[in-house]
Structure 1
Amino acid sequence: MALDGVTLAYLVNELAPQLKGARIDKIFQPEKEEIHIQLRLPQGNRKLLLNAGATTPRFHLTGESKKNPPSPPMFCMILRKHLEGGKLVGLYQKELERVITFAIQNYNDRGDLVTLHLHLEIMGKHSNLILVDPATETILDGLKRYSHALSRYREVLPGRTYLSPPSQGKIPPTENEDRWRQAFSPDDLDRLLTKVLLAHFAGISPELAWEIVIQAGLTADTYLHQCGDIDLSRLFQAYRRLGNPEGTPEISPCLYYPPGFKASPSAFTFVPFQQYQDLILKKAPSLNEALESFFSARFSANVLEAKRGSLRKVVQEQQTHFRKKLNVYAEAISSAESSLAYQRWGELLTANLHRIPPGSPEITVEDYYDPALSAVIIPLDPHLSAIDNAQRYYKLYNKAKATLLKAKQLQESAVSEVNYLDSLRVSLEQAASLPELNEIQLELVDQGYLSGKHLKNEASKVKKGRSPAKAKAKSSLKSPKEKIHPRVYRSSQDRIIYVGKNNAQNDWLSLRKGKPNDLWLHVKQIPGSHVLVPLEEGEEFPDDATLEEAAALAIYYSQSRGSSQVAVDYTHVKQLKKPNSAKPGMVIYDQNWTLYLTPKQEILERLLAGEEDTN
């Protein structure tokens, strides 16, 4: 749900009593458009987050710590100068506007006690954080500075007069139904109810307008002219419950999660919303905690997707590079194969030297390789002798044969690279956390697809400092062999099933973790994770249920996810071999069994929901 004026009002009502009188210890600016204020309270220290970004503007208490830049930005230094050591004496919202004001008392340079206002304007791409002296309404500074060249309405520059964002002229909450109905005009009759509510009443977002209509027993596509007197009365009661913070002081904050496994919250609300009834509802202890959980998960997801995107770009570029090479090799092989016929022409010329007069441009001979002795026309260079023409064709043949041999070797190498990159792509798309992506990044560095300069720089710093942890830091540049945490599941028969998260883990599971008699599974000839089922001594196979569930996991963590009748190979670890110079995650085997399976959704849901935490 959007952080609209109504939700902000509930948040202010919740936090104002907690924060009043708090001392400001320290101010940080870890992000370009985000400020963290360390508060000292009787019940303990808290951190207040103020975000004026275009995508997630907000404020709430947080326990999250972010890395700060080496030197604080200018706006952070201005805030430190005026606010550090001060006391938060007020937190309020004007009507239901999305402008939150923090009133802070502190001593100025002359030793006088003054009150300053820090305005957080939550308005999408126009969001801002502005420090103002309320005595003169003078702007001390703004997180985003802009002049009349960008805004005709106002300037946000030090020394300019602060103007509140322009009013939208909407009606504040009312308890009077007649006054509420008077807000409607004849022009509204042909408008959807959600649009009418958005146009006339303060503090309402599209989601909240939709919820008001739903809780009034109407549908989102209902127009105002379709409503009778009873419908309007029900609509007013729903508005009074949801759109008037003064009329509904009691709230029940909620988080909503999509069906799935380890999913991030999709929405938050201050009371349960009917429009989210298909999602999984979880009650939150407070609205602040609901906001913190929601935005923290969104931030983590954004960081995860940003890193996934950068690594995906590297893999895609390499895939394009090697596929272009494959096209070049295919053309070279095709050309060389067509040139192999020059050997026959050379032999036919050698057998017919006595028939070739000097200066001939061509000769027609019988092809004794053909049982029908068909005639073959062989072009000749008239400037060369008959024997030199034959030798020229032998040289062209030998060149084609050498080209064919080399091109096929390069083609095999390129095919191996493409297959390996396909496996990396699968691991990338299925990685569920930042550490998993970091492992894939290390693998890309090890394979030479990324430079890893920042890692090398860190290692060189440790080396120069002669730290006793030098060996440990050096080993951190490589795959963390002692910190491998594959996915771990339990079958319905309480058997352990291991699943590799990336190629390095696949190698570790198959070649180090697995015992010779353990069962190994992998989707046939398709990139995917290695799956390992430990077996007892003397046990050849697990029970049928465990085998089916392990195969289902192999399919789920492969490029065949969502397909039906997928071929899954299974064999014992002792059958696995890793060829010399093979890429990570690449193994071969001679003896195996194959199971064709369409994973059952209920089995996958139970397995994935029961994943064990190995970190």
Structure 2
Amino acid sequence: MPFDSITTYAIIKELNSKLKGSKVSKIYMPTKYEVVLHTFDGDKQMLLINAGSSTPRVHFIEDYNASMNEPYGFCMLLRKYLSGAVITDIEGYEFDRIIKIRFESINLLGEYQNLTLTAEIMGRNSNLILIDDESGKIIDSIKHIRPDNPLMREVIPKIDYEYPTKDRLNPLDFNEFVAADNIKSNAGRTLKSALMSTFNGISPIIFSEITSVLDIDNNAGVNELSKEDIENIIKRIREYFSGLDERLKYNLYRKDGNNKDYVCIDISSYEDMEKMTFDTPSKMIDTYYHDIDRLNRLKVVYKDVYNLINRSLAREQHKLELRRKDLEKAEGSEKYNIKGQLLLSNLHLIKKGDKSITVQNFFKEPYEDITISLNPALSPSENANKYFKKYTKLENSKKHLEKLIKDGEENVYFLESQSLYLERAKTYPEVEDIKSVMEELGYIKKKKKKHNLKKVKKLKFTTSDGYEIYVGRNSLDNDYLTRKFAFKTDLWVHTKDIPSSHVIIRTNNGTYSNEALELACKLCVYYSKAKNSSNVPVDYAYIKYVKKPSGMKEGKVIYTNNETVEVTLSEDDIKMIDKLSS
């Protein structure tokens, strides 16, 4: 659901009830097009204003990590003008997707100054603009717009602020004859399209809900409607919006465990979805965007880590592929040893200047003839030595390549693990842990320092029969759980040859239930790269059989005396773990 005019109307009501008279204490910008205002009036509030093209909106938020703030120029400007300012009013404009937050501040000369921060929540044209009320001029905006088309609105500092050009009507206050004429003027369009062109900021799903009681098809052409049909539609719209305050309900609709839509009224066509109702529009919107924002902000703040892991992984995989091809070539080294041996056995038959010789290959049963190429410039014994040297070189190369391939496989496994942990990360500290591991191993250039294992905030689950299960979120967590936290009699669980979190079952002196093992295996697959695969092999062994040799990378271990089961997660399993993890 886009942030439509009904949502805007509801947010303005909430902001007026909570922000009037409060003072701006802090201003941050977590990303290029997001502003967070901290206000205080007995109670602390945090207001998010997002003017990005993908998820524009305005609402209160529960938490914000200020340490991740970026020093954007627009943030510095807002701090200059609005720090310490008092919020005097919050207004809309013609029931459009515009929110005007009015401030009274004191300028550098000690004089009172009235300012308006205008949020235009209009998809890719969204913007956040600071305006001087006395002059009506733009001080600055989060996006500068210098359009090539002269008919488009310009938004740059020091020019007069103008509202987005609209000829649509306010559904709270409109002339019925004008509305009817506007609908009729869209004769070549559908009713739904005509209504959206006539009235401000109403989404198709809202118009469908409004007109559903009229038994009129929204996809019908306007020219198919009678004068009475149009009059009934206009009457219904006026009736609906005149009672809008009583209709407001803050609903989040979910399907198959995923957020699908949010809307500030009941939607009859969504009856087959799970509905969560909130007491404020901010809580509804914040819940809807919580996971989306988490991933977007983490990727923005830590884009260097994401890019580094992806580049490093691609490079290691390419190197590994080349080394495996070289090893395939080196595997044929034995044929050069055989040729050298055959030449030594037949030196008396070779003359200097011969280009080849055909002899019996007694290394094969039954014997067969083999033709061996010779360098005519070399003596018979030198030709034999040439083949021995090539054999020795390839044998040495095989040993070196085998070591490089083993190291490369470990590097790929490690980087795939870090990529998995980044995908699962929910907080900045989790990504910081991953970054710290990358620094220690030299993937990120920084002065190396010893990272001591410490107690971490691990994921904990408890079965119905009382067994505790712990899941690591990253390499540091995994090392801590396996090396420091778990007892020798606890059970260690991990996907076989697939990056995943380490899972620990806290056993009762080595005993555990089938339920605990089943849940641990499911958790292991859920927190792995094979979450959506079938018949995933999962190994489990007691901790006393799990070792970490010196020099092995973070989160990597070897183990013995293990057993293996195959696990396939069902949709119900995923929903169950989603619920347990939240």
Range class of TM-score, shorter chain = 0.7 to 0.9
Aligned to 1:448: 442
How far has the Cα of 1:321 moved from its partner? Answer: 1.6
Matched-pair contact (CA < 8 Å) for 1:241–1:247: yes
Q: Matches of 1:79 and 1:308 in 2, distance apart?
A: 25
Which residue among 228, 236, 244 is the counterpart of 1:248?
A: 244
Structure 2 residue aligned with 1:349? 343
Q: Which blocks of at least 5 consecutive residues in structure 2 are unaligned? A: none
1:383-398 correspondence to structure 2 within 5 Å: 383-398=377-392
After superposition, the Cα gap between the structure-2 partners of 1:305 and 1:250, relative to the gap in structure 1 and judged at 3 Å, is farther
Question: 1:504 is matched with which residue?
Answer: 476
Aligned to 1:544: 514
Query: How far is the alpha carbon of 1:518 from its aligned partner?
Result: 1.9
* 2:534 matched residue in structure 1: 564
Q: In the TM superposition, what is the alpha-carbon distance from 1:114 to its structure 2 partner?
A: 6.5
2:27–2:36 Cα contact (<8 Å) kept: yes
Q: Which residue of 1 aligns with 2:456?
A: 484
Deviations 1:218-244 (A, max 9, x none): 6765555677899768755763465x2
1:331 aligns with 2:330: no
Relative to 1, partners in 2 of residues 1:94 and 1:506: Cα closer, same or farther, differing over 3 Å? Answer: closer
SS in 2 for 1:168: coil
Q: Distance in 1 between matches of 2:105 and 2:426?
A: 46
Distance 1:89 1:602, change over 3 A: closer
Q: Is the 8 A contact 1:549 1:603 kept in 2?
A: no
Residue of structure 1 aligned with 2:544, choices 565, 571, 574: 574
User: In the alignment, which of 506, 523, 528 is matched to residue 534 of structure 1?
Assistant: 506
Q: CA separation in 2, counterparts of 1:17 and 1:358?
A: 104
Question: What residue identity is the alignment partner of 2:246?
Answer: E
Q: Distance in 2 between matches of 1:161 and 1:271?
A: 36
Give 1:15's aligned residue. 15
Q: Corresponding residue for 2:200?
A: 202
Aligned equivalents of 2:418 and 2:77: distance in 1?
Answer: 44
Deviation at 1:517, TM superposition (A): 2.0
Q: 2:370 — aligned with what?
A: 376
| Aligned partners of 1:98 and 1:121 also within 8 Å | yes
Closer/same/farther in 2, CA of residues 584 and 106 from structure 1, 3 Å limit: closer
Deviates more, 1:276-285 or 1:190-199: 276-285
For residue 216 of structure 1, report the CA deviation from its aligned partner.
5.5
Letter in 1 for 2:497: Q
Question: What SS does the aligned partner of 1:571 have?
Answer: strand
User: Does residue 97 of structure 1 match 2:96?
Assistant: yes
Match of residue 122 from structure 1: 121
TM-score, normalised to structure 2, is: 0.85
Letter paired with 1:208: I
- Kindly provide the CA deviation profile for residues 396-424 of structure 1, in whole angstroms up to 9, marking residues without a partner as x: 22112111221122122212222333333
In the superposition, relative to structure 1, how do residues 150 and 388 fare at CA in structure 2: closer, same or farther (>3 Å)?
A: same
Q: Distance in 2 between matches of 1:517 and 1:498?
A: 15
The residue number in structure 2 matching 1:595 is 565
Q: CA deviation at 1:198?
A: 0.8
Give the residue type in structure 2 aligned to 1:448: G
1:568/1:238 Cα in 2 relative to 1: closer, same or farther (>3 Å)? Answer: farther
Residues 59-79 of structure 1 show CA distances to partners (whole Å, capped at 9, x for unaligned) of 445565535979783785477
Shift, 1:493, TM fit = 1.9
Contact 2:254 2:261 in 1 (8 A): no
Aligned to 1:6: 6
Corresponding residue for 1:365? 359
Structure 1 counterpart of 2:525, one-letter code: I
- State the alpha-carbon separation in 2 of the partners of residues 607 and 373 from structure 1: 65
Q: Secondary structure at the match of 1:336?
A: helix
Q: Any idea what SS the aligned residue of 1:354 has?
A: helix
Aligned-residue CA RMSD (Å): 3.8
Distance 2:355 2:261 in 1: 82
Q: Could you tell me whether the CA contact under 8 Å between 2:8 and 2:98 is conserved in 1?
A: no
The structure-2 alpha-carbon separation of the partners of 1:604 and 1:333, relative to structure 1 and needing over 3 Å to count, comes to: closer
Corresponding residue SS for 1:482: coil
| 1:165 partner SS | coil
SS of the aligned residue for 2:244 comes to coil
Query: Structure 1 counterpart of 2:8, which letter?
Result: L
C-alpha distance in 1 between matches for 2:75 and 2:312: 42
Partner of 1:314: 308
Structure 1 603/390 Cα, relative in aligned 2: closer, same or farther at 3 Å? closer
Deviation at 1:18, TM superposition (A): 5.0
Q: Which of 491, 509, 527 does residue 519 from structure 1 map onto?
A: 491
Identity of aligned residues (%): 27
Distance 1:72 1:583 in 2: 38
Range with greater deviation from structure 2 (284-293 or 412-421): 284-293
**Aligned equivalent of 1:271:** 265
User: How far did 1:16 drift?
Assistant: 3.5
Report the CA distance shift for 1:597/1:300 in structure 2 as closer, same or farther (over 3 A).
closer
Deviates more, 1:199-208 or 1:304-313: 304-313
Map Cα deviations across residues 283-330 of structure 1 (whole Å, 9 max, x no partner).
333334444555566433421344676544333322222222223222
CA contact (8 A) 1:54 1:125 kept: yes
Shift of the 215–295 alpha-carbon distance from structure 1 to 2, 3 Å rule, reads farther
| Cα distance in 1 for residues equivalent to 2:571 and 2:37 | 47
Q: CA deviation at 1:167?
A: 2.0
Q: Distance in 1 between matches of 2:394 and 2:435?
A: 41
Task: Tell me the TM-score normalized by structure 1.
Answer: 0.80
Q: 1:609 — aligned with what? A: 579
In structure 2, the CA distance between the partners of 1:60 and 1:522, relative to structure 1 (3 Å rule), is closer
Once the two structures are TM-superposed, the CA of residue 89 in structure 1 deviates from its matched residue by 4.3
CA contact (8 A) 1:498 1:532 kept: yes
Distance 1:510 1:356 in 2: 65
Match of 2:524 in 1: 554
Q: Which runs of 5+ in 1 are unaligned?
A: 457-473
Letter in 2 for 1:398: T
| 1:439 partner SS | helix
Partner of 1:471: none
